Amino acid sequence: MAWEDVWAVLKWVLAALAAGFIGQFGRVLAMRIIERRKAAARRDRNADVPAQTALSDKSDACAAAEAAAIKQRTKLEKKRAKAAVKAAKKNTNDESS
């Protein structure tokens, strides 16, 4: 193989590597631009309804408080029922002895 043939192959290899390098960074740049536009659109959408978001946060807090209260009541009812069963069982054991 002549020196000119090696140089021609080497040029094509370098051109392919350069194209891949440029393509990769172009893709990353495009993804970054798309993400910035999406973030800006989200900010614009959120800026339009700040009062609704605050109201939603308050209602979520109220709903969470109600859920906790219901859970507490259910737990107390379960304890009372368990204590009643235990007392009834104790009474039947005392009467049979």
Q: At what angle do helices 3-48 and 50-96 cross, to 10 degrees?
A: 80
Domain presence at residue 76: no
Domain presence at residue 85: no
Res 50: pLDDT = 57
Domain presence at residue 54: yes
Res 57: pLDDT = 66
Q: How many domains does the chain have?
A: 1
Res 69: pLDDT = 92
Euclidean distance between CA atoms 17 and 4, whole angstroms: 20
Domain presence at residue 19: yes
**Residue-wise pLDDT tens for the chain (97 aa)?**
688 889 999 999 999 999 998 999 999 999 999 999 999 888 888 776 655 555 566 678 888 889 899 999 999 999 999 999 999 888 888 777 6
Res 35: pLDDT = 94
Structural domain range at position 45: 3-71
User: Using an 8 Å Cβ cutoff, are 87 and 95 in contact?
Assistant: no
Domain presence at residue 29: yes
Domain presence at residue 81: no
* Cα separation of the two ends of the chain: 111
Q: What contacts 46, CB < 8 A, 6 or more positions away? A: 53
Domain presence at residue 83: no
